[in-house]
Structure 1
């Protein structure tokens, strides 16, 4: 019984760790077009390796910032503001 409880807690914790970031859902006509947004990011010095719109209504990039550090950043699709970011040193 104890093993089952511990396994259940570990499984729940791992699901929480991989939960996707959620952004506000905006109508398509209010969103920054993906190509335009990627161009804006490139002008800010980002190197984009992967770009996608998530199921959680965010734009997500994997790449490098202008300092050359690896980044994973989620952005609001309407404002373009970062919602969550991870930067490797």
Structure 2
């Protein structure tokens, strides 16, 4: 009985932690409709993000960066690759 409770609790915690680590869904549009990486990088720079260490496509339909915002704070940002709009902005 106690073992079953422990296993259920552990499984629930694993699901919660994996959900917290998941990136947002930015679009379901096909990649043919996405802004090019070069265009997106230019838009990101115009928004004031700099020193971009990582720029990548996610499996959930986003462009994602790790860099610094215009205030010099570390930022992890997810962008809609069709519109270029920020979907999620995590700043340290």
Could you state the TM-score of these two structures normalised by the residue count of structure 2?
0.84
* Aligned residue among 52, 63, 84 for 2:56: 52
Alignment deviations for residues 23-79 of structure 1 (CA, whole Å, 9 cap, x no partner)? 212233321111111022123321111100111110001100111011011011110
User: For residues 7 and 52 of structure 1, do their structure 2 counterparts lie closer, same or farther at Cα, with a shift above 3 Å needed?
Assistant: same
Q: Tell me, which stretches of 5 or more residues in structure 1 are unaligned?
A: none
Deviating more after overlay: 69-78 vs 20-29: 20-29
Please tell me whether residue 87 in structure 1 is matched to residue 91 in structure 2. Answer: yes
**Could you list the runs of 4 or more consecutive aligned residues of structure 1 that deviate by over 6 angstroms after TM superposition?**
none
Q: Tell me, which stretches of 5 or more residues in structure 2 are unaligned?
A: none
Give aligned pairs, total.
Answer: 88
- Equivalent positions of 1:1-80 (< 5 A) are 1-47=4-50, 48-80=52-84
